[in-house]
Amino acid sequence: MNGEGNSGPVFADPITADLMLSVNGDEHPVTVDTRETLLDTLREHLDLIGAKKGCDHGQCGACTVLVDGRRVKSCLTLTVTVDDREITTVEGLAVDGALHPMQAAFVERDAFQCGYCTPGQLCSAVAMVREVADGWPSAVTADVSGPVALDDDEIRERMSGNLCRCGAYVNIVAAIRQVGA
């Protein structure tokens, strides 16, 4: 990130790119401003409103989507960088109209209140369970060179990138435990 400088006001024309974006298995031809984030493309151009804008700085997790199966912040992802990736949003979790087990568990355990952080929590939870299955250690894994198991401490640590202001964490952990354990 060297070489930058705050060169003061520059009045420049937007630069656009034509891309094919793969979201939830559908191909979407889009013309995007290079400045556009994946979050804004999804919400403003594809009417995929599941991914939420909570902070736009990567600090709340409401915008979490999966890129090639991995959870990322779509507010810090420039759309031009993911034209060769497979994107999954909360709208893509349910299969044939049936709720994904994680979605069903969130309803059953009342793992949300206002619902605004929920799509990000869900995408994050689904990917997180997979990360544990792949043996990735976390900050609470006692021995990082050994195997990992999905206990409550692990769930809490791994879900800490998704803030919930309503305070539904206890129920979120219960829902994930129910599905992931």
Partner 1 sequence: MRPFAYERAADVRSAVAACAAGMADGAGAVYLGGGTNLVDLMRLGVVSPGVLVDVTRLPFDGVEETAGGGLLIGAAMRNSDLAAHPLVRRRYPMLTQAVVAGASGQVRNMATVGGNLLQRTRCSYFQDVTKPCNKRAPGSGCPARNGDHRNLAVIGQSESCVATHPSDMAVPLAALGAIVHIEGPGGSRKVPMPGLHRLPGDTPERDTVLEPGDLITAVELPPLPFAVRSRYRKVRDRASFAFAVVSVAAALDVEDGMVRDCRIALGGVAHVPWRAERAESALRGSPATEAAFAQAADEELAQATPLPHNAFKVPLARNVVVRTLLDLVEAS
Partner 2 sequence: MTTVAAPYSGTALDRVDGPEKVTGRARYAYEHAPDDLAYAVVVQSTIARGAVRVVDADSVLQLPGIIAAIWHENAPRVAPIEDAELTVLQSPRVAYRGQVVAVVVAETIESATEAARLLRVDYQVEPHDVELRADHPGMYRPDHVNPDYATDSELGDPEAALGFAPVVVDATYTTPAQHHNPIEPHATVAVWDADGLTLYDSTQSASAVRATIAPLFGLPPESVRVVSPYVGGGFGSKGAPHAQVVLAALAAKQVGRPVKLAATRRQMFAVTGYRTPTVQRVRLGADEEGRLSAVVHEAFEQTATVKEFAEQTTVVTRMMYAAPHRRTSHRLVRLDVPVPTWMRAPGETPGMFALESAMDELAVACGIDPVELRVRNEPTVDPERGLPFSSRNLVACLREGAARFGWAGRDPEPGVRRRGRQLIGTGVASSTYPVYRLPSQATARAEPGGGFTVKIAAADIGTGARTVLTQIAADALGVAPAQVRMEVGDSALPRASVAGGSSGTASWGTAVVRACEALTDVLHRRAGDVPPGGLEASVDTAEELRSQRPFSRHAYGAQFAEVGVDLDTGEVRVLRLLGAFAAGRIINPKTARSQFIGGMTMGLSMALFEESVMDVEFGDYLNRDLAQYHFAACADVRDVDAFWIEEEDPELNPMGSKGIGEIGIVGTAAAVANAVYHATGLRVRDLPIRLDRLIGGAV
In this structure, the strands spanning 26-33 and 16-23 are: antiparallel
CA dist., res. 106 & res. 38, Å (int): 25
Helix (H, G, I), strand (E, B) or coil at 86: strand
> Which entry of partner 2, partner 1, none binds 77, CB below 5 to 8 A by partner kind?
partner 1
Which residue matches tokens 């369970």?
Answer: 129
Dist CA 161 CA 60 (whole Å): 7
Q: Which of residues 94-123 bind partner 2 (CB under 8 A)?
A: 94, 99, 103-104, 106-108, 110, 112-119, 122
Give the chain's end-to-end CA distance (angstroms, integer).
Answer: 41
Among 5, 9, 25, 29, binds partner 2 (CB under 8 A): 9
- Contact range with partner 1 by CB under 8 A, out of 40-48, 98-106, 127-135, 170-178: 127-135
Contact footprint for partner 1 (CB under 8 A): 1-7, 10, 12-15, 17, 33-35, 37, 56-58, 61, 64, 70-73, 76-78, 80-81, 124, 127-128, 131, 134-139, 141, 144-145, 156-158, 160-163
